[in-house]
Every structure is written in C-alpha cells, then in structure tokens.
Amino acid sequence: MLFTRCPDCQTNFHITAKVLLLADGKVRCGCCDTVFLAYDGLGEQQSDTETQSESPQATERMVTGSPNAGSASIVILADTELSSQDNSPAPEISLALAATAFNKNMTAEEIDAALSDDLELDSPPASLEQGSQESVRQGTKSYRWLAGSIVLVILLTLQTTHAFRAELATRPMIGPLVRAGYSALGFEITPEWDLGQYEILDWVATTEPSTTGEATLTITARIRNNGPAAQPYPSIHLELTDRWEQTVGSRVFAPAKYLPPDHGADRLMAAGTTVPARLDVVDRNEDAYGFELDVCVEVAAGIVACKADAVFD
C-alpha cells in the first residue's frame, strides 16, 4: 500500500491506484485544505512506530475519493464527474511504477498500459510452464514427422529405381550409376536396350581361298545407330540358307569379332554413329546359297535377343 503526505501539515494518507488515476493525482488535504499533487509525496507504507516518531500528531487515514468523507481525508480535484463508478478494489502499485506512470506528458492510455503490465508481471501466468512443455512436445513430434518423411521418400525412391532398373540402366546420365550400384551389391543388371535403333546397311558377301585350301565366306556390312540414345555395339546373328531358303547354319558374332581393332567393343555406340563390320566364315556348309543378318543384344548373362525375335544361348 502507498501513502502520500500533505506538504503543509505533514498528514499521511493511504492512497490507491484508482485515486491516482483521477484528476492526474491532484488532491486537496482534508485537514488544512492545501491542494497538492499526490505523486509528489508518494512513499512506501511505514510501520506504526516510524510514523509516530516522524510526526506525533500526524495520523494516517484512508482516502475515500469523496469530498464528503469527513475532515480527515483528501479530496480529488477533477474537471468532470465520472459517468459511472467502479466499486471493485483498486490494485496496488509500486512506488517506482507510480512515479513513472503519472508523468504529466503521458496519455491516459499509456498510464493504463503501464499499470496493466506491472500487474501482469507481479503474477506470472500459471500456464507458462505448461505452454513451454507443450512447445517442446510439438517440436519433438515435428522432428519425428520430418525424419519419418525422409525415410519414406528414400524407400520410395529405392523401390521405384528397382522397379524400373532395366530402363534406367539405359539412360546416359544415371545408367552407369544404377549399374555400378547393383554391381556393388553383387547383382548384375542388364539394361533394356532398344533393338529398333540399329540398322544393317550395304552387306556384301565374297568368297576367298584360305591358307588351308578351303573357301572362306567373307561378309562386309555397316551397322548404324539411328538414336536417339547411345547403346552398346550389338552382336550380329548370321544365318546361312540353301537355295530353298532353309537354314543350313548359323552363328552369333560378338562385337569384338567383327569390329576393326581401333574400335572399343566395350564402349557405347553414340547415336547417329555408323561402324563397319566384317564377318569371316571359314567352315561354311557346302549347301549354303544365301545368308541373313540380324542385330542382337544381351538380355541376360549368356543370352542374347535379336531384332527378329530370336533368342540364342
């Protein structure tokens, strides 16, 4: 509780925040009729002993805020009457806050805000600790959801990669990574190459004598990759036929068997590239009258599939 003191008669009066708010703290002493500013004489409440020793004849009285409360009171000086009175008890305020709040240059709204802030700080909300714990729990849940989402995305990516592994292995950018990843895990992956990109051009067959005296059948041609993607050099399936177009012999030539020495058989064949091919058949069948060529690619370990839907081990 605060008190204010009349500067003339040194009479002490208890005073509340509600009274200080009225008329900017300007009051009249009920003992000597002196008009003074209540906040100029503000002080903390003193014990009965200190009050009596300071002024033996001064007595502390409660401020009623009404000029008809008796002679031992202070009267609030206001320019206008209050339209309604609030009978609820006024909150107590500290001396430091009262001295700051009732600066003559402050507005009524600023004063109210200062008093409100002080009251709220004096009694911190009971839910502060509960709200902090709730924030921690929500943060933990968020991290769990984030970690779970990342794991699900990784699993979905791995599942999609495995489902389309053969097709992805043919891509120029990620194909080597996919094949290397499966190879590191101990699995061999065979890409799904497009046989429709290959084309055999300008094939010619000639017969030449060999060193053993047997005639050697030599077939020359050109292999073209029409694109759009780079693919490995294909294997070539040679089929010998008789005059009635019945098959009398066949053989599959790997890239290393028909490419020139300066072409790397293990490299990819770029789109739009054309390479020469030479097939030498030494022990051909005597009934062979014609031949057919087809391109093939490996679809599994030791198994090739050809453009004409033939599969050879």
In this predicted model, what pLDDT tens digit does every residue of 127-172 receive, in sequence order?
A: 556 666 777 777 777 888 888 889 899 988 888 887 777 777 777 7
How does strand 74-76 pair with strand 247-253?
A: unpaired
Q: Kindly state the helix (H) or strand (E) to which residue 165 belongs, with its residue range.
A: helix 165-168
Are both 23 and 115 inside the same structural domain? yes
Q: Is it true that the peptide bond before 261 is cis, omega within 30 degrees of 0? A: no
In this predicted model, what pLDDT tens digit does every residue of 274-289 receive, in sequence order?
A: 999 999 887 666 777 8
158 is a domain residue: no
Are both 111 and 11 inside the same structural domain? yes
Of the candidates 122, 144, 174, which is a domain's last residue?
A: 122
We report the CATH number of the domain holding residue 263 as 2.70.50.60
Q: Is 11 exposed, middle or buried (0-12, 13-18, 19+ CB in 10 A)?
A: buried
Q: Rounded to whole angstroms, how far apart are CA atoms 158 and 171?
A: 17
Of the candidates 122, 137, 154, which is a domain's last residue?
A: 122
**Total domain count, the chain:** 2
Q: Rounded to whole angstroms, how far apart are CA atoms 85 and 191?
A: 90
Q: Which residues pair with 14 in a beta bridge?
A: 3, 62
Of 42-51, 127-136, 247-256, which one has max mean pLDDT?
A: 247-256
Q: Rounded to whole angstroms, how far apart are CA atoms 280 and 207?
A: 10
Are both 6 and 117 inside the same structural domain? yes
Q: Is the pTM of this model over 0.85?
A: no
Q: Do 216 and 281 touch, CB atoms closer than 8 A?
A: yes
**pLDDT on residue 108:** 55
- Length of the chain in terms of residues written: 313
In this predicted model, what pLDDT tens digit does every residue of 202-231 receive, in sequence order?
A: 889 888 776 666 667 889 999 999 988 889
16 is a domain residue: yes
Q: Rounded to whole angstroms, how far apart are CA atoms 252 and 236?
A: 6
